[in-house]
Amino acid sequence: MKIVLAVDEDKKTIVTRTGQSAYFAIYEDDKFVDLIPNKHHDGGHHAHRHNHEHDHGGMSHEAHTNSHRKDVEALQGCDIILVRAVGENMREALESIGLKIKKIRKKDGESADEVVKNFLAGNI
């Protein structure tokens, strides 16, 4: 099973908002296998207004979802993403590439390794 987690700049800490993650960590069962940069990450959505490529102000819902879809294409072929929170547009983008979304909480772990271990043990 290929598991995806949204992580911060340190490449291991779980982020709260999936779309604002710096990277997507990919695990094959309990083994870390890849780290995919989140092209949408530029310091968070608040910074987007300064970056024309990511300015969502005038974007339609569909255009915003498509923007996220392009950012997550590299996750295609993975089975599930474990998230604390995911916005509507990112959720639709993730589901469109076949990823199942599972909500997690802080008590499930702070690091990607810890969350994967708890998920595989059936504790989440």
102 versus 44: the higher-pLDDT residue is 102
Give residue 72's pLDDT band: very low, low, confident or very high (50, 70, 90).
confident
Length of the chain: 124
Q: Which pTM was predicted?
A: 0.80
Q: Which domain holds residue 53?
A: 2-120
- Enter the tokens of residue 48: 């987007």
* CA–CA separation, 42 and 101 (whole Å): 23
Domain count, the chain: 1
Name the CA dihedral angle for 33, 78, 35, 27, rounded to a multiple of 10 degrees: -40
Tokens of residue 37, six digits: 């940069």
- CATH classification of the domain holding 86: 3.30.420.130
pLDDT, tens only, 40-64: 666 544 444 334 344 455 566 565 5
